[in-house]
Amino acid sequence: MTKSIHDDVRAFYRQAAQEGRGVERDDPRWGASRYDDATLGEVNDAAAHLSMGCGNPYALADLQPGETVLDLGSGGGLDVILSAKRVAPGGKAYGVDFLEEMRETARANAAEAGVDNVEFLAGMIEDVPLPDASVDVVISNCVICLAPDKAPVFAEVARVLRPGGRLAVSDVVADDGADPSASGQDWSECGSGALRESEYRAMLEAAGLSEVTVEFTHETGPGLHAAMVRAVKSA
């Protein structure tokens, strides 16, 4: 099942990368519609057009100059580019993505945006190619829900965060008692793979994160919500 899900997700997002198109902005639940015009003005149109998330993790993270930030499932690079600008001077933004098509697109978008404190890495969010305790902030935008098994993802978040480091992600989360598999949304469309709220909290805490908050922002489907998720690695 895990391989099948990974293959389906790869095919879905490879097509988006090849077409250079994510979610139409007239759907307020997804994509570039979750960012204001001033923020989108900091990136090129290609990065905005390929945005496929359910929120704006960049706005949640309270990034500071000099920090190191990691974006899980960085796609076309929108959140990495925005983060790189916020942590300059002295900081760096990494993106991890398992599709070469997305990484190539992200590198081109970063170059056009004029940011050079970025690096796009080949890898899985279940196995991040960075050392232990190497980043201050982990962000992600509607990608964790795509992982077949979330426990390794959260374990990797805890591993790469420095003590006192922060998690600030947007993700699709289900109501407690809801059955995400009955949502009618495919796994690759951020529906069937969503965790319930209590599961999300418990798995973050089991990975060693604390101060967990899950705040629903808007519905994305039956029993499903976009959520702002925050947590801290104990110092």
Per-residue model confidence (pLDDT) at position 22: 59
- Assign 66 a pLDDT band (cuts: 50, 70, 90): very high
Per-residue model confidence (pLDDT) at position 184: 62
Q: Decide: 163 and 27 in contact? Cβ < 8 Å.
A: no
Q: Which domains does the chain have, with CATH numbers?
A: 2-233 (3.40.50.150)
Above 60 in pLDDT, residue 63?
yes
- Assign 42 a pLDDT band (cuts: 50, 70, 90): confident
Element (H, E) at 170: strand 161-174
Averaged pLDDT, 146-161: 96
Averaged pLDDT, 84-101: 96
- Assign 3 a pLDDT band (cuts: 50, 70, 90): low
Averaged pLDDT, 1-6: 70
Q: What is the pTM of this model?
A: 0.93
Q: What size, in residues, is the chain? A: 235
In this structure, the number of other CB atoms found within 10 A of the CB of residue 108 comes to 15
What is the overall mean pLDDT for the chain?
89
In this structure, the number of other CB atoms found within 10 A of the CB of residue 146 comes to 26
Per-residue model confidence (pLDDT) at position 35: 82
Span of 18-27, 49-58, 160-169, 217-226 with lowest mean pLDDT: 18-27
When computed from its CA atoms, the radius of gyration of the chain, rounded to whole angstroms, is: 16
For a pLDDT cut of 90, what percent of the chain falls above it? 66
Q: What is the dihedral of CA 148, 92, 58, 169, to 10 degrees?
A: 30
Residues 6+ apart with CB under 8 A from 232: 164, 165, 166, 167, 209, 210, 211
